[in-house]
Amino acid sequence: MTLTRRTLLQSAAATAAASAVKAAPNDRITIGMIGTGARGHELMQAIQQHSSTEIVGVVDAYKGRVERALDRTAGRAKAYADHHELLAQKSIDTVVVATPDHLHHPIIMEALAHNKDVYSEKPLTYRAGEGVEIIASAKNKGRILQVGSQGASSDVQRKAKDIIRSGKLGRVTMVRAAYNRNTASGAWIYPIPPDASPQTVNWEMFLGPAPKRPFSLERFFRWRCYEDYSGGIATDLFVHLCTTIHFVMDARMPSSVVGMGQLYRWKQSREVHDTINAILEYPEGFVVNLSSTFNNQASAEASFSFHGTEGTLTIGWNDVTYYPENTVEDNRWIVESWPKALELAYWKDPKVIEAELRKPPAKEPEVYRGQGPEATVLHFGNFFGSVRSRQPVWEDAAVGHHAAACAHMVNLSAKHKRVVQWDFEKDSIKT
């Protein structure tokens, strides 16, 4: 693996993440939270672990979430009527966009127009074509934009990248990645707050550019289950997997994608698949198998395995394991069918003796355990470090666009039952 500009940016970002946690007291970054649902509150808690940052504004379409967000800031933040009002505040430096997927593009574009730096939850886009517009706007405005697939900032994924870059795995030709669950909550059938009603939920704010539909608490609180607002498993989970694969393998986009999915079990409050598989072929010379089901959790929720000619690397939640190849040629069953004289001569060949008879001692697996803060905390450290230094982040608009586009390709393939290809010149899906 060569030392690329992207590699240098990654090293700089890791340093920025560590320093951002202990920034100077007079270097405060003010933050507006647009969307304070369950993930939004997790992000708030991660932000609050960084000194010299303060959440000063919050927006959400459900009053209960706003109330809890204000409580989480000890009443120091202000509630705004909508994101337009929040973005108009010149005193707010950055915004975190943690809304349903279909609202990301319009809010991000407006935030960039207001010269705000942006942290966007994944997926960056609801449709693949939105990514090119966001990239152009962020570049034109000179703003920092980071996408929230936080794994790429974790200690274990950086270690995995270093191992693969060192050549220890040999040539990696196949990657397998999975993300499985087996609960109603894991399938996004979330509990609905007892006080939720047309009086506490701003339905029009939630709908935004989505098709107009009658008020529905299921759609509002379980939006990932509906195609009007989400791409389901692919845009919620495969985006994480593809971001990691692109990071670790220093890859950009697959050239071809095939996906197949089905809805087997979780049919309440749902349109999107609960089981999906995909194959992605990369021009860098490897193929990826992605899979996810909400009907079984026999193994860890998230797992990766990178298969090389010299070994296999697995990534878990907080560990990396390298399994060296312990292969030995064994042609005994083949040459036993030859004439006896030829078989005896075969075993006297020095090359055969070296390759098949002198078996080296087996190599043992090597395990690395992650250290340091949780990945989301580190990811915000990268973001805040770049906001201060004005140096680019690794998981910028282009990286976010490509990870989300992989998911969109999977969904298109599953829907139309055909191979979907990427146009590298136009940086978009081939039509």
Among residues 61, 1, 69, 7, the alpha carbon closest in space to that of 33 is found at 69
Q: CA 201, CA 199: separation in Å to the nearest integer?
A: 6
Q: What is the pLDDT of residue 208?
A: 98
Residues 6+ apart with CB under 8 A from 29: 52, 53, 54, 93, 94, 384, 387, 388
Q: CA 320, CA 312: separation in Å to the nearest integer?
A: 10
Q: What is the pLDDT of residue 302?
A: 55
Q: What is the pLDDT of residue 26?
A: 55
Q: Is 2 buried (19+), middle (13-18) or exposed (0-12) by CB count in 10 A?
A: exposed
Q: What is the pLDDT of residue 299?
A: 62
What's phi and psi for 321, nearest 5 deg? -125, 130
Q: CA 14, CA 7: separation in Å to the nearest integer?
A: 11
Fold match between domain 5-151+374-396 and domain 155-326+362-373+403-429: no
pLDDT in tens, the chain (431 residues): 333 434 434 444 444 444 444 443 458 999 999 999 999 999 999 999 999 999 999 999 999 999 999 999 999 999 999 999 999 999 999 999 999 999 999 999 999 999 999 999 999 999 999 999 999 999 999 999 999 999 999 999 999 999 999 999 999 999 999 999 999 999 999 999 999 999 999 999 999 999 999 999 999 999 999 999 999 999 999 999 999 999 999 999 999 999 999 999 999 889 999 999 999 999 999 999 999 999 998 764 458 999 999 999 999 989 999 999 998 899 999 999 999 999 999 999 999 999 898 888 889 999 999 988 999 999 999 999 999 999 999 999 999 999 999 999 999 999 999 999 999 999 999 98
- Please give the structure tokens belonging to residue 309: 């000619």
Q: Which CATH class is domain 155-326+362-373+403-429?
A: alpha beta
Q: What is the pLDDT of residue 27?
A: 81
Among residues 146, 180, 171, 131, the alpha carbon closest in space to that of 406 is found at 131
Residues 6+ apart with CB under 8 A from 44: 33, 36, 55, 69, 72, 73
- Please give the structure tokens belonging to residue 293: 């089901």
- Please give the structure tokens belonging to residue 177: 């990645």
> Is CATH 3.40.50.720 what the domain over 5-151+374-396 is classified as, yes or no?
yes
Q: CA 36, CA 60: separation in Å to the nearest integer?
A: 6
* Every domain of the chain and the residues it spans: 5-151+374-396, 155-326+362-373+403-429
Q: What is the pLDDT of residue 360?
A: 83
Q: CA 41, CA 263: separation in Å to the nearest integer?
A: 30
DSSP helix, strand, coil percent of the chain (3-state; round to 5)? 40, 20, 40
- Please give the structure tokens belonging to residue 51: 């000194």
Among residues 155, 64, 53, 62, the alpha carbon closest in space to that of 96 is found at 53
